[in-house]
Amino acid sequence: MRRLEMKRRFTLLIAMVMLLTAMATNVFASSDPNIYIHNQIVKTDVVPFIKNERTMVPLRIISENLGYNVQWNQKKQEVKVSDRNLEVKLYIGKKEIINNNHKEVLDVAPLIKNDRTFVPLRCIAEAFNQVVIWDQKARNVHITREKDIPSNKNDYIGRFVLINSIDVSSSKGDKKSPESLRIGDVGLILKSEGDYLYIDLIKPQGEATEDWSFAKGYVLKKDCILNPRPNELDLISNVCRLKNGQIKVQDSINGETYEVDGNRFANIKRKEKNQLLIEMPGGANSAWVSKNDVDFGLEYFTGNLNN
């Protein structure tokens, strides 16, 4: 009996170990990011991974999917990525990138893993003026297009920006950022000053229309997507516009379904595949709305701005 009991316990222990191992494998596998380039998922035999909040990808992704020339210098441990107009150099183990002889600091150094060279995707893509968006919830990286870069500072004025990242160290002196600035906020550019843009954030209809100073402030140009497209707004924007007419919504607390007036902005609290959780005016509970009943196109982000 005693041997039988020990055998049962041992069998149970082995089963638990196997279960925990499987669970851990699933957790780590689910955390591996997917990469989309121009709306197409990138398939690779080597899985990208996250290191210090940066997506590391094998060099082959750069050469095959972005169309750049990639050279590897074994002796110098140097990675050179180039096109007709630009040359970027990175070095294994060094947190630096040399962009046309201009040196910048990296958050993560390139590395070699399982005999493959991995580089931080964002720094390479942004060096070549590509728009890079990190979808935190889905853990996906999207490279959508080449950035719009105006030829002079006056060409920025009157355009919209989507906040894509926030450099907290940049808000200093007279360059204070808008209060409670978040990734996904949308604003109208009022002026351009060097590396900064002075913007007015979009505020949902229903809020006071006075000129609230905390809604204005400075952001770094490198942290913004200029003239964001609908698919980019759909990925990370905190603001949407309800379409015209009566819009059906569902109370997030009691499940009650009712209709609200459309043709207004709304703050987005949460995104699901086919619906959004939005804030309701007047202190009402947040409500779910179908994505079919909202717009993300820039043509709808007009008016209701305090200039």
* Per-10-residue mean pLDDT, the chain, length 307: 52 45 41 85 87 88 85 93 91 94 91 91 89 88 88 88 84 82 92 93 58 76 91 90 92 95 87 91 88 80 44
CB 135 within 8 A of CB 128: no
CA 74 → CA 103, 112, 178, 226, distances in Å? 21, 12, 47, 39
Task: Return d(Cα 195, Cα 5) in angstroms, integer.
Answer: 72
| 216-220 and 224-226 beta bridge pairing | unpaired
**Fold (CATH) for 236-295:** SH3 type barrels. (2.30.30)
Closest CA to 203 of 179, 170, 231, 176: 179
* Of residues 177, 157, 160, the one with CA closest to residue 168: 177
Supply the pLDDT for residue 76. Answer: 95
Residue corresponding to tokens 């209701």? 304
Amino acid found at 121: L
Burial 230-267 (b: 16+ CB within 10 A, else e): eebbbbbbbbbbbbeeebebbebeeeeeeebebebbbb
Q: Read off the tokens for 15.
A: 């089963």
Helices (H), the chain: 2-31, 59-65, 121-127, 230-236
pLDDT for the residue numbered 93: 96
Write down the pLDDT at residue 286.
95
What pLDDT does residue 6 have?
52
Q: Is 218 exposed, middle or buried (0-12, 13-18, 19+ CB in 10 A)?
A: buried
**What are the residues facing 189 on neighbouring strands?**
199
Instruction: Say what the pLDDT of residue 211 is.
Output: 44
Q: How far apart are the first and last CA of the chain?
A: 84
Res 280: pLDDT: 86
Residue ranges per structural domain of the chain: 34-147, 150-228, 236-295
Q: Is the dihedral of CA 290, 183, 186, 152 positive or negative?
A: negative
Instruction: Please check whether the two domains, 34-147 and 150-228, share a CATH topology.
Output: no
CATH fold group of domain 34-147: Copper Amine Oxidase; Chain A, domain 1 (3.30.457)
Measuring CA to CA, how many Å separate 140 from each of 70, 100, 146, 234?
24, 29, 19, 14
The Cα 138–Cα 182 span in angstroms is 18
Sequence-ordered list of residues with C-beta below 8 angstroms from that of 114, at least 6 positions apart, any chain: 46
Domain 150-228 top-level CATH class? mainly beta
